[in-house]
Structure 1
Amino acid sequence: MTFNHVIRDNALIIRLAGDLIGEDNGSGILEVAANAIQQGIRLAIIDISGLRYINSSGIGVLITILTKFRNKGGEVYLLKPSESVQKLLVITKLNSIFQIVQSEDEVLKDVNK
């Protein structure tokens, strides 16, 4: 798995690609999220359009990020899940916990009103 991140309009944007399958993969992502929170960022958009596969450990990474942001009064959005990842989110009912969106710009526009 690969990822990159950027801060844009006071939001952390993380782009994931490949397979999110464990703590080893997720530790760097968690570190980026923790650093952003420490800098006062309260919004994260995780672009999962490039994820091919995610297992329970990968889901745990996403939930950890969500928990950390919500504990600080923030929010996490999942951006453009693939069909297979969307099915997994529905089966696990995580689609009712995470806000799933199709446009990064829409989230930023709504939040920065």
Structure 2
Amino acid sequence: MEFKHEIKGQILALRLTGDLIGEDNGAAIIEVVTDALQKKVPICIVDISGLRYINSAGIGVLITILTKFRNKNGEVYLMKPSESVQKLLVITKLNNIFHIVQSESEVIK
């Protein structure tokens, strides 16, 4: 899996591509999240449109991101899940925990 990140004002934008299966990238993503929270960034948008697959370790990474932001009164948005990832979110009922959006403009509203 590969990921890119940037801070745009009050938003941390993460773009994940490939397979989110924990591995070493999970720790690197959490490090980026921690740095953003130290800079008082309250919102995280995780673009998951490029994810093909997520396993339980990958779900753990997403939940860790959500927990860290909510503990600081922030919020996490998952953007544009693919059909297979959307099905996984529904099966695991994570669609009830995360805000799922189709564009950044939905978050800015």
What's the TM-score, normalizing by structure 2? 0.97
Shift of 1:23: 4.1
Structure 1 match to 2:90 = 90
Please tell me whether residue 33 in structure 1 is matched to residue 33 in structure 2: yes
- In the TM superposition, structure 1's runs of 4+ consecutive aligned residues that sit over 3 Å from their partners are none
Structure 2 match to 1:72 = 72
Structure 1 match to 2:102 = 102
Tell me the alpha carbon deviations over residues 20-68 of structure 1, each in whole angstroms, 9 at most, x when there is no partner.
1014221111000000000000100000000000000000000000000
What's the TM-score, normalizing by structure 1? 0.94
- Structure 1 alignment gaps of length 5 or more: none
| Alignment: residue pair count | 109
3-state SS of 2:73 partner: coil
- Structure 2 alignment gaps of length 5 or more: none
3-state SS of 2:34 partner: helix
RMSD of the alignment, in Å?
0.8
3-state SS of 1:24 partner: helix
Shift of 1:105: 2.1
Counterpart amino acid of residue 24 in structure 2 = D
Identity among equivalent pairs (%): 71
